[in-house]
Structure 1
Amino acid sequence: MKFAQIIDCKTHHFDDLNQLMDKWVAQTKGKRTATHSLVAKDRSDASHVVEIVEFPSYEEAMKNSQLPETDRIFREMVALCDEEPTFTDLDVVRDEQLLKATAARFFELAAVRGELPPLDEVFAENYHDHDPTNPQDVIGMDALRHELDMWRGGFDFEFTIEDQIAEGDRVCTRWTWNGLHKGEFMGVESTGKKVSMTGVVIHRFRVDGKIIEGWWHYDQLGLMEQLGAVEA
């Protein structure tokens, strides 16, 4: 079970405290067991600082606390605080990775049979799509719907998400696409063939959690070979 520790303190030396955290990261490189650290400042009280540190488990957190570098940095941190910091130990019972879920939701919506569902729950209105197979980028919701209608008109399809990696405001999704060629697609009339391809997309998210930009890489040449449009 994941474990998180909240360190709550009051300090008028925030910059020094921040530099101390950088020092701890540098000194414990290759030894620390912490997987994620977040430092936040109270908007209504600039002297109120909270740090949340995540570990794979409570046991790994204890190993981290026993590092001599951690002990030394902790004593320096206490010296920078206006009063003794408090600690809250938490077992993580639910960890929502919301950006990953939003990225996955797009693949669900794109594959829905029948009328294309509304996309504004996932995309920003001025979404910018980079696809190396298109002569120009797709910009805006209307252009995105037109692009999806082309694929949906040519195929009944579904996506399988193989991997997702999230960092900052970006989510990278590796996917497999399986389709049945039912209608005209890029000049190729319906073949009734079952086809598949793999690809990767990186989505960038706006601060409100909606997708604002996407970069695609997929094997369209392999798809056209399966349709008989080009020779292998």
Structure 2
Amino acid sequence: MNVNELRKLNTHFFDEVFRRRNVDAIDELLSDDFVEHTPAPGQDTGKQGAKEFIGQALAAFPDMDVEIEHEIAEGDTVATVVRFTGTHQGEFAGVPATGRKVSVYFIDVTRYRDGLCTEHWGLPDIGNLMVQLGAAPGGPR
């Protein structure tokens, strides 16, 4: 796979799953042996765990928007800086809905094989998210 094909696969994932809110597309976009290397607490590290976590995030932030700000592709891997914005309208990470608008960055590193995502490392700015939700010191109350 060349870097342009990798970028297209990566963008397609964000478009289909997050922008179109098609969580079921995960069944077709992730390999059966998919591994999440940075799962949320209690999250299964396989395809089903990714599907459940993303479904919970979309339910908590139903107006979520994603913007790919930077993307680097090399070999079989894409590194992406993504900005997620949305309104907290449902429980997320144990925090009840606040109605607050948030904007946070994530760094995603994704490996692909045969057109499917096989591995993922996600580094969310969870501290900043919790501050914006009022669940950590330094944010609105």
TM-score by length of 2: 0.85
Distance across 2 between alignment mates of 1:114 and 1:167: 28
Kindly indicate whether residue 87 of structure 2 is the aligned counterpart of residue 180 of structure 1.
yes
Q: Give me the CA root mean square deviation.
A: 2.1
Mark the CA change 1:127 to 1:191 in structure 2 (over 3 Å): closer, same or farther.
Answer: same
> Helix, strand or coil for the counterpart of 1:139?
coil
Instruction: Considering Cα pairs closer than 8 Å and 6+ residues apart, tell me whether 1 or 2 has the greater RCO.
Output: 2
Query: Per-residue CA shift, 1:107-155, capped at 9, x if unaligned?
Result: 12232466634223321122111226x2466422211111111111211
Q: Is the 8 A contact 2:3 2:74 kept in 1?
A: no
Q: Is the 8 A contact 1:197 1:222 kept in 2?
A: yes
Q: Is the 8 A contact 2:79 2:107 kept in 1?
A: yes
Mark the CA change 1:231 to 1:112 in structure 2 (over 3 Å): closer, same or farther.
Answer: same
Mark the CA change 1:166 to 1:147 in structure 2 (over 3 Å): closer, same or farther.
Answer: same
Aligned to 2:133: 227
Structure 2 gaps of 5+ residues are none
| Aligned-residue identity in percent | 33
Q: Is the 8 A contact 1:124 1:212 kept in 2?
A: yes
**Structure 2 counterparts to residues 36-115 of structure 1, below 5 A:** 97-112=4-19
Equivalent pairs, count: 136
Mark the CA change 1:172 to 1:226 in structure 2 (over 3 Å): closer, same or farther.
Answer: same
Structure 1 gaps of 5+ residues are 1-94
State which structure, 1 or 2, has the greater radius of gyration over its C-alpha atoms: 1
Q: Is the 8 A contact 1:130 1:137 kept in 2?
A: no
Distance across 2 between alignment mates of 1:137 and 1:188: 17
> Helix, strand or coil for the counterpart of 1:213?
strand
Query: Per-residue CA shift, 1:157-212, capped at 9, x if unaligned?
Result: 01100111111111111111101111111221111111010121111111x12110
Which residue of 154, 157, 163 maps to 2:70? 163
Mark the CA change 1:182 to 1:171 in structure 2 (over 3 Å): closer, same or farther.
Answer: same
Distance across 1 between alignment mates of 2:35 and 2:89: 28
**Structure 2 counterparts to residues 19-38 of structure 1, below 5 A:** none
Distance across 1 between alignment mates of 2:22 and 2:49: 16
